[in-house]
Structure 1
Amino acid sequence: MQTTAEYFCAYCGEPNLTFVDLSAGGQQTYTEDCQVCCRPNVLYIRVDEETLDIEIDTEYEG
């Protein structure tokens, strides 16, 4: 099951939407390019498996 969540680019600070696969577990990490500045962001995703609340932290890649 997938849902969307918002994160802010670590480079330009602009909001972005990303798909989160809820069946992939409570902690996920992957890299996604910003939809505005095209720079790569490392996304650290935490999903509360009871409430399905999603938290995303970002950092620069590299």
Structure 2
Amino acid sequence: MTLLPEPPDDPLDEDDFPLGDGTAESEVLVVCPHCGEANELALDPGGGSVQEYVEDCQVCCRPWRVTVRYAEDGTADVFTEALDE
């Protein structure tokens, strides 16, 4: 019987993969186009290089369109646009 070594105590995190090395961004801070408050969004790099969906502001609850475009180096350009109610 062969014993495998124990895994390291510190799992890989964002500090191990600085942006620009091909690791996709998974969180971003955006400003609500209605109230101007900051909102943290979880991004889905597995959803494709271009994504579009509707998100509600975490502060004022009004809807906006989110457009995400991933570059080859993993950086995400995120745009928000107010939706008419």
User: 1: CA distance between counterparts of 2:42 and 2:60?
Assistant: 19
What's the C-alpha RMSD, in Å, of the aligned pairs? 1.7
Greater strand proportion: 1
Q: 1:2 to 1:21 in 2, by over 3 A?
A: farther
- 4+ runs of 1 displaced by more than 3 Å? none
For structure 2, the 5+ residue unaligned runs are: 1-23
Per-residue deviation at 1:12?
A: 0.8
Counterpart code for 1:43: V
* % same residue: 36
Q: What are the residue-to-residue correspondences of 1:1-62 with 2, within 5 Å?
A: 3-48=26-71, 50-62=72-84
Question: How does the TM-score come out when normalised to structure 2?
Answer: 0.64
